[in-house]
Amino acid sequence: MDGLLCGHADVSLSDAARGNFVMGTSLPAPTGQGVAYIANVTVDVAFRRKGVGTALVKEAECIAARAEGITAAALHANAGDEGARELYRKLGYRVIAVDSLLLAAVPGTKRRVLMQKSF
């Protein structure tokens, strides 16, 4: 995998940067001191189930943990994406909120869950 772009993740350490990550959900990203927000975790199909997603999330957590005052990380996952939700569960994330069922009726949107982990 050296030299190949096989995945991506963003990590936000400030409230100001989180606005771009919460479109299309009734669940806002967590705000306030102490919580980093991990977003846009994607892995190329050819590299899935090979540890890339785990490595991306763990590196995002390391970046967050090195930041002064950050004691937890949160992320959203599509409610129907059991693979992603299981990955996050294995990494210690727990569901803290779920989008309203009404959101599923809006064309072009998917229900999401908000998951969080303390360091």
End-to-end CA distance of the chain: 29
Q: What is the pLDDT of residues 59-84, one digit of tens each?
A: 999 999 999 889 999 999 999 999 99
Round to whole Å and give the CA distance between 97 and 18. 17
**Amino acid found at 119:** F
Residue identified by tokens 């409230």 is 15
Instruction: Tell me which residue range forms the domain holding 55.
Output: 7-118
Q: Is 25 a member of any domain? A: yes
Angle at CA 103, nearest 5°, toward 102 and 109? 150
Q: Is 2 a member of any domain? A: no
Give the total number of structural domains in the chain: 1
Residue identified by tokens 């993740």 is 9
pLDDT on residue 3: 81
Single pTM value for the model: 0.83
Q: Is 72 a member of any domain? A: yes
**pLDDT tens across the length of the chain (119 residues):** 578 899 999 998 876 666 555 544 555 556 567 889 999 999 999 999 999 999 999 999 999 999 988 999 999 999 999 999 999 999 999 999 888 888 777 888 888 899 999 99
Q: Is 28 a member of any domain? A: yes
Tokens of 28: 């806002």
Q: Is 70 a member of any domain? A: yes
CATH number of the domain enclosing 34: 3.40.630.30
